[in-house]
Amino acid sequence: MIPHPEQVPPRPFQYRVLGYAVAACAFTTGVAAVLLRVFDLSNVVMVFLLTVMLVALRWGRAAGALAAVVAVGSFDFFFVPPVWSFHVSDTQYLFTFLLMLAVALVTGQLAARLRAEAVTAAAGERRANALAAVAADLSVAGRDQDIANICMTRIGPLLDGKTTLLLPGRDERIPTPCYGDTGIAQWVLEQGMPAGRGTETLPANYASYLPLTTPLRTRGVLMLERKSVRPLDTEQLGLLRAFQSMIALAIERVHFVEVAHETQLRVEGERLRNALLSAVSHDLRTPLTAIRGMAGMLGESDVALAIVNQADRMQRQVTNLLDVARLQSEGVRLDLQWHALDELVGSALAATPLGARQVVVDIPAELPLVELDATLFERVLVNLFDNAAKYTPSDATLYIRADRTGSNLILRVEDDGPGFPPGIDVNALFAEFARGARESAVPGVGLGLSLSRRIIEAHGGSISASRRDPHGARFEIILVAGEPPTIDMEDPE
Amino acid sequence: MNKPRILVVEDEADIRRFLRLALEREDMTVFEVGDALHARIDAASRQPDLIVLDLGLPDDDGKAVIRDVRGWSTAPIIVLSARESETEKVAALESGADDYLVKPFGVPELVARVRAQLRRANLAGARGQASALIRFGDIVVNLATHEVWRSGEVVHLTPIEFRLLAALVRGQGKVLTHRQLLIEVWGPGHALRSHYVRVYMANLRQKLEEQPARPRHLVTELQVGYRLAGIVETP
């Protein structure tokens, strides 16, 4: 820690002020000798008292006390009969001496205290002015560099030394090489404790490293180097503490200004991307809607049906592409809500044309709600069902089962079709643009599964593929069950 | 019955043309407009029986048009929208739209929705809520006595389950958003608890649907709400 004020040794006593006190008394004696020609002895005493008070006012308590004694002595020696001797003929003078000594001491000490208070007040004012000036500068500093400059040019001189600001980079490390000792600076940053000279940690170091701490965290380190061997005095220590918190707050303010600025930029960028995506989405969907609709007008011919089918397929690919683009540009932002798994399965089944394929759904009614983004999760299911429709004959059966094991919900989508081609790594299917059979007659760019994996992983779950016995494909989605919100069930009738 | 009059509001000329062809083939009279300004004018002057409205109009927000038209007309409004804009669909429904179609859609889908909405409007206009007996699939609901039968057997529903079913029945095939259902069944304090609807809807499906995971009547409109499909007109 910074040394406490009481640990600071007082300024060494300056003996020359005692010399000044004696000299002042000698001078007064001379003046008194002249005055005595005109004035009475009892008036001359007042001149000595005045001197004692002035000495105390100018040079302090000790000088005042000495002056009081010397003044009484010289008054006795030079002016009280018999002169040139400390002998006193009239005992009345003994009373005068006592009174004079008492008055001189009291006025001297009062004057000295007055002076001390004036000095303290002046120092306080000086410190307040310095603080105010630095605070004003720090409050308009817009960058870390500005703050560093203020530390160098304004704060250092006030502390009779050189102050350097050491700030961590984005990785929370003080950059190396830096001015000073990186190791100590890093320690100070992490511990929030001062180190180096004048502290309990590594006091032998030539510089002090002081943490710049705000209520939130330690934002940087102030390094203080001083040539003087004397420690900081109370006034400077007070200043230093004030500077520490002012600099810390200034750094924090600059930091939050930057954060706000970056956020604004990101929001702008995001808005632009969203606008772009929705424009692309609209531009692709409009012709598709027209094509699909017009083909629907052509009646029940094979050609018309084929156009409708292809338009539908293209629509699903466009949707996948847009979803991939959206997920890539924004990361996955989930709109999490508590959903019933069977409802999502039902919705996805309704959205996928499966032809004459049988669908067997086995989802226990008592399965808990699960927290997920319904639109994205439906996308996963539609892709899986769509795959089943693409790769199985039209008399295949689709099995959809869900279960809870421990803290997980498992959803399996299986078919009894031909399954994956032999010799391929089934889990490589989830890599981007992978497809089971190279250049097969079945359309699709393999976007669906990689998109599905990305969506499931964003939910904290996993998706895997395996071969089903005796034949067919199996996809397994594992989700975290979580803690569904409670529902105030009504009282049974 | 007169030919139904349909107002199509869509800024893409090709889609407008296909909508017109598809609906005219169903023996309907179609008026086309391409922007919100003319949509407002024609909705007033042509007195359409139903409005098909694209939400993305060049000159104004489709939802504003819905609100304006709803001020003086009860004609059903079917909204055309893109898949990913669930909040947009919900906002449109809560502004007063009755149903929506996701682009791209097929002719049979379009015709089915238009016919269902016209029927609903006719029923509402002809007899209001006079008939308490509603039938869909093998389910019969008596709104007056709160009784429900499935294939002739009484189904026991809790009060909330019945209120939820009754809300969907009264909607007559209209898509009801989670919020609308929560407010109607549970009250305004529950407007944000959409998982309540999901849990009770699952219960209803267990009791009323043959395959709860592939519902035929209690249909999920994902991220939007629910509607009752397959209502038979006269029990």
DSSP state letters, A13-78 = P-THHHHHHHHHHHHHHHHHHHHTTTS-HHHHHHHHHHHHHHHHHHH-HHHHHHHHHHHHHHIIII
Assess whether A354 and A468 both reside in one domain.
yes
Please report which confidence band the pLDDT of residue A176 belongs to, taking 50, 70 and 90 as the band edges.
confident
pLDDT recorded at residue A304: 85
Q: Could you tell me which residue, A441 or A417, shows the higher pLDDT?
A: A417
**Band of pLDDT at residue A355, cut at 50, 70 and 90:** confident
Portion 357-416 of A in contact with B at CB < 8 A: 359, 361, 363, 365, 369, 374-375, 378, 400
Give yes or no: residues A307 and A339 share one domain: no
Non-local (6+) Cβ contacts of B210 within 8 A are B216
Nearest CA in chain B to A311: B104
User: Which A positions 188-207 lie with beta carbon below 8 A of chain B?
Assistant: none
Q: How confident is the model at residue A5 (pLDDT cuts 50, 70, 90)?
A: very low
Residue A361 to residue B199, Cβ atoms within 8 A:
no
**Interchain proximity A315–B108, CB inside 8 Å:** no
Instruction: Work out the minimum CA distance from A401 to partner chain B, whole angstroms.
Output: 11
Largest CA distance in chain B: 55
Higher local confidence (pLDDT), A298 or B125: A298
Name the domain boundary from A283, A312, A341.
Answer: A312
Mean of pLDDT values over A248-261: 90
A55 and A64 Cβ atoms separated by less than 8 Å: yes
In order, the DSSP letters of A411-451 are EEEEE-SS-SPTTS-GGGGGSTT--SSTT-SS---SHHHHH
pLDDT interval class at A8 (50, 70, 90):
very low
Size of interface A-B (CB pairs under 8 A): 121
Based on the domain organization, do A278 and A414 belong to the same domain? no
Q: Considering its fold, how many domains does chain A have in total? A: 3
At residue A249, does pLDDT exceed 70? yes
Query: Between helices A61-74 and A41-59, what is the axis angle to 10°?
Result: 160
Does A359 sit within 8 Å of B214, measured CB to CB?
A: yes
Residue A73 located in a structural domain: yes
Smallest Cα distance from B14 to chain A, Å: 6
CA distances from residue A163 to A149, A159, A168, A178, A248 in whole angstroms, order as listed: 10, 8, 17, 14, 14
Position A442 scores a pLDDT of 47
Residue A31: count other Cβ atoms within 10 Å of its Cβ.
14
Residue A1 has pLDDT above 60, yes or no: no
Residue type present at position B183: I
Q: Mind telling me how many Å the CA of B197 is from chain A's nearest CA?
A: 10
| pLDDT band of A471, cuts 50, 70, 90 | confident
Averaged pLDDT, B122-132? 64
- pLDDT value of residue A446: 67
Residue A237 lies in a domain: no
Beta strand extents in chain B (DSSP E only): 5-9, 29-33, 50-54, 77-81, 99-102, 133-136, 139-142, 147-150, 153-154, 176-177, 218-221, 225-228, 231-232
Q: How far apart are CA A99 and CA A42, in angstroms?
A: 12
Contact check, Cβ <8 Å, A289/B105: yes
Distances in Å between the Cα of A462 and the Cα atoms of A367, A445, B220 are 19, 22, 26
Choose one of A108, A127, A146: the last residue of a domain.
Answer: A127
Give the pLDDT confidence score for residue B84 in this predicted structure. Answer: 65
Quote the pLDDT of residue A316.
80
pLDDT of residue B76: 92
Give the pLDDT confidence score for residue A397 in this predicted structure: 92
- A contacts of B58 (beta carbons < 8 Å): none
Under the banding of pLDDT at 50, 70 and 90, the label for residue A12 is low
- Report the pLDDT value the prediction gives residue A9, as an integer from 0 to 100: 44
User: Nearest-CA residue of chain A relative to B81?
Assistant: A282
Selected for mutation to probe chain B from A342, A349, A412, A413 (highest B CB count within 10 Å) is: A342
Residue B168, pLDDT score: 92
Three-state SS at A232:
coil
Model confidence at A491: pLDDT above 60 = no
Contact residues, A window 306-335, toward B, CB-based 8 Å cutoff: 308, 311-312, 315, 319, 322, 335
State the pLDDT at residue A7. 39
> Does pLDDT of A200 surpass 80?
yes
Residues A401 and A287 reside in one and the same domain: no
Domain final position from A95, A127, A159: A127
Q: A407 in a domain, yes or no?
A: yes
A291: chain B residues, CB-CB within 8 Å: 104
Inter-chain CB proximity B82 and A285 less than 8 Å: yes
> CA-CA distance, A13 to A118, in Å (whole number)?
19
C-beta atoms of A369 and B195 within 8 A: yes
End-to-end C-alpha distance for chain B, whole angstroms: 22
Residue A326 lies in a domain: no
Average pLDDT value for residue range A466-492: 83
Please give the Cα distance from A202 to A222 (Å, whole number).
16
Higher pLDDT, A3 or A413: A413
User: Is beta strand B231-232 parallel, antiparallel or unpaired with respect to B133-136?
Assistant: antiparallel
Q: Residues of B at the A interface (Cβ-Cβ below 8 Å)? A: 12, 14-15, 18-19, 21-22, 25, 56, 82-84, 86, 103-108, 110, 158-160, 193-196, 198-199, 201-202, 205-206, 211-215, 219-220, 222-223
pLDDT of residue A437 exceeding 60, the answer is no
Long-range contacts of A201-210 (CB under 8 A, 24+ apart): A205/A181, A207/A180, A207/A181, A208/A2, A209/A166, A209/A180, A209/A181, A209/A184, A209/A185, A210/A2, A210/A240, A210/A244
Confidence of residue A431 (pLDDT cuts 50, 70, 90): confident
User: A408-415 and A370-372: which strand pairing?
Assistant: unpaired
Residue A441 pLDDT level (bands cut at 50, 70, 90): very low
Q: Are residues A275 and A406 in the same domain?
A: no
Q: Which chain B residues are closer than 8 Å to A350 by Cβ?
A: 214, 219-220
Q: Is residue A97 part of a domain?
A: yes
Q: How far apart are the first and last CA of chain A?
A: 71
- Could you tell me the domains of chain B? 5-127 (3.40.50.2300), 133-232 (1.10.10.10)
Could you tell me if A475 and A363 lie in one domain? Answer: yes
Q: What is the CATH number of the domain that holds A368?
A: 3.30.565.10
Average pLDDT over residues A192-213: 87
Check CB contact under 8 Å for B222 and A296: no
pLDDT digits (tens, 9 = 90+) for A30-63: 888 888 888 888 788 888 888 888 888 888 888 8
Whether residue A411 lies inside any domain: the answer is: yes
> Are A283 and A415 members of one domain?
no
Do both A348 and A424 map to the same domain?
Answer: yes
Residues A470 and A362 in one domain: yes
A381 shares a domain with A278: no
Q: Is residue A144 part of a domain?
A: no
Average of pLDDT values for A79-102?
A: 81
- What value, to the nearest 5°, has the Cα angle with vertex A201 and ends A197 and A204? 40
Question: What pLDDT was estimated at residue A399?
Answer: 93
Parent domain of A446:
332-480
pLDDT of residue B68: 92
Higher per-residue pLDDT: A331 or A284 = A284
β-sheet bridge partners, residue B32: B8
Which one has a higher pLDDT value, B231 or B146? B146
Residue A351 lies in a domain: yes
B140 contacts B133 by C-beta, under 8 angstroms: yes
pLDDT digits (tens, 9 = 90+) for A99-117: 888 888 888 888 888 888 8
Residues A27 and A108 in one domain: yes
Residue B147: phi and psi, rounded to 5, are -105, 145
Q: What mean pLDDT is predicted for residues A307-315?
A: 84
A484 to chain B, any CB pair closer than 8 A? The answer is yes
Residues A473 and A376 in one domain: yes
CA B56 – CA B155 distance, rounded (Å): 44
DSSP assignment of B136-191 equals ETTEEEETTTTEEEETTEE----HHHHHHHHHHHHHTT--EEHHHHHHHHT-GGGT
Segment B74-84 mean pLDDT: 84
- For residue A387, the distance in angstroms to the closest alpha carbon of chain B comes to 19
Q: pTM of the prediction?
A: 0.62
pLDDT single digits (tens) B27-60? 999 999 999 999 999 999 999 999 999 988 888 8
Is A290 close to B108, i.e. CB distance below 8 A? no
Closest C-alpha to A289, from B23, B174, B17: B17
Burial of residue A13, with CB atoms counted within 10 A of its CB: 0-12 exposed, 13-18 middle, 19 or more buried: exposed
Among A29, A2, A50, CA closest to A199: A2
Region B59-63: mean pLDDT is: 87
Residue A82 scores a pLDDT above 50: yes
User: Between B103, B104, B220, which is nearest A343 by CB?
Assistant: B220
Tell me, what's the pLDDT at A3? 40
